[in-house]
Every structure is written in C-alpha cells, then in structure tokens.
Chains A and B, each alone.
Chain A
Amino acid sequence: MKGRIFSVVGGMFLLTVCSKGDGTVQAAPPAAQPVVPTADVSAAGGTITGKIKFTGTAPRNPAIDMSEEAACKAKYTTTPTEENVVAGPANALSNVFVYVSAGVPAGQTFTAPATAVVLDQSGCRYHPHVFGVMVGQNIEIKNSDPLLHNIKAIAKKNRPFNVSQPNANMTKTVTFAAPEVMVNLECNVHGWMHAYVGVRPDPFFAVSGPDGSFSIKGLPPGTYTIEAWHEKFGTQTATVTIAGTETKTANITFAAH
C-alpha cells in the first residue's frame, strides 16, 4: 500500500544518476615514518646528534576501533593503535621533537625553505605524527582517505584554523606565522587522530626516528640549550657547546611514569 500511495510520484520519477564510484584506496600500511625534511641549512657548522630513550615501561597504546571507517580499516592488517608512545629497540623513543630553545643569536633571521612539509592523512592517522616547520614554511595537508577528515589546529600564538577535506586526494596548504611549540592538530571526526607540529623561527630542530636518534645540523659555534618535547613524557633539556664544525652528542632520557 505504501507503493500505491506514492505511485504518482513514482511516475514523475524519471532521472537516476549513479553518483558512486570511488575506487578503494590501495596505499600500503604506513610502516616507516617518512623522514621530515628539515630546514635547508648549509653543511658548514656544527652538528648535535643524540639518541632519545626512556626508562621504565612504556604505556600500552590504545587500540583504535576503526570498524566505522571501513576504508581506513582496510589499510591495516593488524588492529591499528594510537601513537602516544612509539618505542624502538632498547627503549628508544621516537616522535620526540628536539629543538634549540636558546643560544641562537637574537636578531639572526633564517629564511624558510621553499619545500613544503607534507602532512598525510592515511588510514585515519596522521603521517608524520610529530614534525617541525619553520615560520612561514608551507605545510601541505593531504587526504589519502576517501572520507571526511577535518584538521583543527589548536594554537595559542598562531591563528587557529579548522578546515576539512571530505574527499580523497584533497590538499590544502597552510603556514604558521609565529613560533610555537607545539601546535596540536586534531581531527574531530576521528577522535583518536592527533598530530603535533613544532613551529620554529630557525632551522635547528629535528624529530627522533624509530631508533630514537636525531641530528641537528649547521649550528654556528656557541653554547646552546636544546629542548626535547614528547607528547606524553613532557620536556627535557640539555646544554651543548659547539666549536667549529664538530659533531657533539647529546643523549636525552625521559622517564615513563
């Protein structure tokens, strides 16, 4: 009887259009963190390298139930987890943002590299999870998932923004105008998605890799304070004096609570 009531309307109904048709996105599970292209500095100058470790046992990263987003879930063979504490062998700690917090002569200015940092949203996670940019450097936000992500920047010194990318392969370029460690990026549609970006006025920063190592290059001679930031373990500092083009090592150890 329902059909009968509306058969008149059914008669009017002439046009149908198939509006579906996104191919499934293939992208392999993101295994390795893409190396963040650090700022372009001259080879001259000193280098600070080191390893980031932590003591104690790392907290378990919560599993993410992606069943509501089949397209994301399909990109993983095992249950994906959040990336709060990504530990490597021998308690190496990755995703630590290391930067020179003091020692760079005031008044010295650096130009931002022309290359953009790519922030990819794939499998309902951010890649990279932690990264640094220079003030004014382009960040190209890319959506590799065929579904809506919004990118909300929670910043204090920079103008907050909230943009969305409903389709696959949409890109959006943003920049930050003021130094800020860290600007939090989050997706409100997928509450587990977080990324952190350190915005610096100089190119002297790095993010620790899977083995916990980092390297800051091109420092002129001087005494520097370096600060390491981790989303769960807080910050640690170290002081390093550079003379000439030497390479100094500064290992930093966090304590897992």
Chain B
Amino acid sequence: MRWWLPDAGSTFAGPIDALFLAILIITGIALVVVEVGLVTFVIKYRARPGRKAFYTHGSTRAEVIWTAIPAVTMVALGLISNHYWVLIKDKKSIPPNAYHVGVHGKQFEWQVTYPGPDGKLGTSDDFTVRNQLHVTVNEPVAVELSSEDVIHSLFVPEFRLKQDAVPGMHIIAWFQATKTGEFEIGCAELCGMGHYKMRARVFVHTPDDYKAWVAQQAAGGSE
C-alpha cells in the first residue's frame, strides 16, 4: 500500500515533493483551523433555551485579517512555485547538453525514436523502438513529443514527468533520471478505448549499458 507520491526517480522529484509537502502543511493548518473551529462552534454555540445569538454584522478587522493572510500566503506560494515551474517547463531551461529522443504517441502505443550512434535525431541511423524508452542515468534527456492522431500525455510517475503530446505540435519535455532501473510510462490524457493500455516502460541504464543497448539495436533488433 502506498500512501505517498511514488519513489523519486529524477531530479524534479526533490523540489516538487518538497513543494507538495509545504502545501500540505499550509493547507493542513488551514484545514485544522476550519474543521476544529466548526466542531467547536457546533458544540459550544448549540441552541439552548434562553440563549440568544450575539447580534453583529461583522468586523472589518476580521475581514482584513482573513483577506490578508491568504493573499500573502498565496502570493508567496506563487513566487516559489513559479521558480521551479520555470526550471522544469520553460523552453530555455532544457539543458543544452541534453540527449534528444523522439516520442511519438499513437493509438495506443508510444514509438520511441533514438538518435542512433551519431547522437542526432533526424538522421538515417535513427531507429524506433515500440513502448521502450531507454535512457542513461544522471544525463539530461530531452523528449521531443509528437502525436499521430489524438492528444496523449506522457506520464512517468517516478520522474514527476508529465507532458501532453498534441498532434500538430512539437513539444519538448526534459528530465534527468537519478537511479537505474525500470519504470512505467502511462498515458494521462483520454485517448480512446485503449487509453489505459498505453503502458510503456523507461529503462534507466548506466552509460556503459546504454551504449551496449544502442549497439545491439543498431545491429538489428532485440533477438
């Protein structure tokens, strides 16, 4: 049973999880204040014979307080969030040394195109593998997303990576895996009856393993 976010598998997980925790604490405090307040009032001010409610139309000071506190909190939260948002999603934040792979969504599979031995996409030594994204650990990877038919969304929970693949658009998402292993890819945007079955896998290799895998693929497949 899992009660938290999935295990961290990329460099994004650190700030995102920390921000998640921070918001959980802030909202948790607000929730406790409201719910405890409600329960207290329900018990304390329940109708009893001979009591009469306190006749008041409100208090400007109270209004100012509970306008200002959420406003300040939200603006602060917005500023912090934006800092990480820009680092993760902004086009300028994609590391220049990132290794580019193409991911093409299609009802209902992910076609992953690798740059081949020359390290460049769009050349003749590219090769395409179905439903398998192989990357190197600790190396930034830029995923060039496209779609054949409808909107898909590339989702790797462990990497905190999610980006829609929109037909007619060329969108780049990047990540840097921090541990080797095999992770699952899902589709997070309803794309038809096989939406749930757009399951693919990411394989995070050590640099040597990755080279070996590329060499094997270039030699003609996975036999």
Q: Which residues of A contact B (CB under 8 A)?
A: 2-3, 5-6, 9-10, 62-63, 65, 67-68, 79, 147-148, 150, 162, 164, 188-189, 191
Q: Hey, which chain A residues are within 8 Å of B108, CB to CB?
A: 150, 188-189
For the complex formed, measure the closest distance between the CB of A118 and the CB atoms of chain B, giving whole angstroms.
23
Could you tell me which B residues sit within 8 Å of A by CB distance? 3-4, 24, 106-109, 129-132, 192-194, 196-197, 199-201, 221-223
A68 and B201 CA atoms in complex are apart in Å by 8
User: Given A68-B200, A150-B193 in contact, is the A63-B109 Cβ separation under 8 Å?
Assistant: no
The complex places the Cα of A189 from the Cα of B107 at a distance, in Å, of 7
Contact A148-B3, Cβ < 8 Å, known A65-B222, A191-B130: no
> Which chain A positions have C-beta within 8 A of B106?
188, 191
Asked if A6 and B194 make an inter-chain contact with CB atoms under 8 angstroms apart, the answer reads no
5 contacts between A and B (CB under 8 A): A65-B130, A79-B222, A79-B223, A150-B108, A164-B194
Residues of B within 8 A of A3 (CB): 3
Given contacts A65-B130, A68-B201, contact A5 B3 (CB under 8 A): yes
Indicate if the CB atoms of B3 and A188 lie closer than 8 Å.
no
Q: In the complex, which of the residues B4, B131, B201 contacts A2, with contact meaning CB atoms closer than 8 Å?
A: B4
Question: Is there an interface contact between A148 and B194, defined as CB atoms closer than 8 Å?
Answer: yes
Contact of A188 with B107 at beta-carbon distance under 8 Å, contacts A2-B3, A68-B201 already known: yes
CB pair B200–A63 under 8 Å, yes or no, is no
- Least CB separation from A81: chain B residue: B223
Report Cα–Cα, A131/B133, bound state, in Å. 36
Q: Which residue of B lies closest to A163 (CB)?
A: B193
- B193 and A191 within 8 A (CB): no
What CA separation (Å) do A178 and B196 show in the bound complex? 34
Closest to A78 in B: B223
Q: Is there contact, CB below 8 Å, between B131 and A150?
A: no
Q: Which residue of A lies closest to B111 (CB)?
A: A191
* Closest A residue to B192 using CB positions: A188
Give the Cβ gap from A193 to chain B, nearest Cβ, in Å: 11
**B221 in contact with A63 (CB, 8 Å):** yes
With A63-B222, A63-B223 as contacts: A189 and B4 at CB distance below 8 Å: no
Residues of A within 8 A of B129 (CB): 65
